[in-house]
Amino acid sequence: MSLTLYTSAKAAAPYRVRIALNLKGVDYEPAPINLVASEQHKAAYRAVNAQKLLPTLEGAGDPMTQSLAILEWLEETHPDPALLPRDPRDRATVRAMAEIVACDIHPLNNLRVQRALEAMDVPEKARLTWSKRWIADGFQALELMVAKHGAGWTFGDQPTMADCCLIPQVANSQRFKVDLSPYPHIVAVWEASKGHPAFHAAAYEQQPDFVAS
Ligand SMILES: N[C@@H](CCC(=O)N[C@@H](CS)C(=O)NCC(=O)O)C(=O)O
């Protein structure tokens, strides 16, 4: 099976999938899409992803979309190492943490939302306030959950799907210049992730299309 991941260095959703593929030791070829140049809107990309969003994972049947669906598929097809705990109640907690990021923070700050606000003449300062507000909302909840459930990682002492989602959101929040000092447990996980090869290889700077800005 030869997998291609449509990705973009600084985009959070494909970053989640890069981490999971690396954690599971699954090889893939990155296919960078330039979101700023709107390459996601080209017909060739729309043919693989009807939503014109990243990521898409190609090479295992129909092109696969939606990062959480891809993480679940990876977990089912490559169970080792597990990215969900064994206990069903614990799995629900990990999924809840992942969804705080993927369903409640990220969709409000996404590029197409930023562009829609801009098209409605919302000034840049107000757009930044908007983004920071939703990141803070999610991080306040996650900070309490990591304090309760974390033991080195977001949940327990091994990386899970929650880390696959949280780490890209922390990287993204730095671009929005969010003050992370109210979230010491989240920061501790972020720092730990920097020393882990799977997270390191998935980071912005390691991607073929990375451009410093
Ligand atoms: N819920 C989707 C979100 C996908 C998404 O919004 N991807 C962003 C990159 S992080 C994107 O492609 N944005 C392009 C745009 O907004 O035009 C997922 O988890 O895969």
3-state secondary structure of 83: coil
Q: What pLDDT does residue 1 have?
A: 76
Q: What pLDDT does residue 83 have?
A: 98
Same fold, 4-81 and 88-199: no
Cα–Cα distance, 147 to 150 (Å, whole number) = 6
- Map out the domains of the chain as residue ranges: 4-81, 88-199
Residue 125: which region, alpha, beta or left (left: phi > 0; alpha: psi -120 to 50)?
alpha
Q: Could you identify the atom of ligand 1 that is nearest to the CA of residue 70?
A: 20
Q: Which residues contact 62 (CB under 8 A, 6 or more apart)?
A: none
**Closest Cα partner for 109 from 33, 7, 11, 29?**
11
User: Token pair for residue 163?
Assistant: 């880390």
* CATH code matching the domain that covers 4-81, chosen among 3.40.50.12780, 3.40.50.970, 3.40.30.10, 3.30.230.70: 3.40.30.10
Q: Is residue 9 packed enough to be buried (19+ CB in 10 Å), middle (13-18) or exposed (0-12)?
A: buried
Given a contact cutoff of 8 angstroms between Cβ atoms, the answer to whether 54 and 35 are in contact is: yes
Number of Cβ within a 10 Å radius of residue 163: 30
Question: Angle 12-23/67-77 helices, nearest 10 degrees?
Answer: 10
Q: Ligand 1: which of 7, 33, 38, 54 to mutate, most ligand atoms within 8 Å of CB?
A: 54
Chain-centre distance of CA 80, in angstroms?
Answer: 20
Q: Give the pairing type, strands 4-7 and 29-32.
A: parallel
pLDDT along the chain (213 residues), means of 10: 96 98 98 97 97 98 98 98 98 98 97 97 96 97 98 98 98 94 98 98 98 88
Which CATH architecture does the domain made up of 88-199 adopt? Up-down Bundle (1.20)
Nearest C-alpha to atom 13 of ligand 1 is from which residue? 53
Given a contact cutoff of 8 angstroms between Cβ atoms, the answer to whether 170 and 139 are in contact is: no
Q: What pLDDT does residue 213 have?
A: 79
Q: What backbone phi and psi angles, to 5 degrees, belong to 16?
A: -55, -45
Cα–Cα distance, 141 to 31 (Å, whole number) = 34
**Closest Cα partner for 65 from 78, 75, 52?**
52
Largest CA distance in the chain: 48
Enter the pTM of the model. 0.98
**In 86-149, beta strands by DSSP E:** none
Binding pocket residue ranges, ligand 1, CB within 6 Å: 11-13, 35, 40, 53-55, 66-68, 102, 110-112
Q: Could you identify the atom of ligand 1 that is nearest to the CA of residue 38?
A: 17
Q: Could you identify the atom of ligand 1 that is nearest to the CA of residue 55?
A: 20
Residue 14 alpha carbon to ligand 1 centre in Å: 8
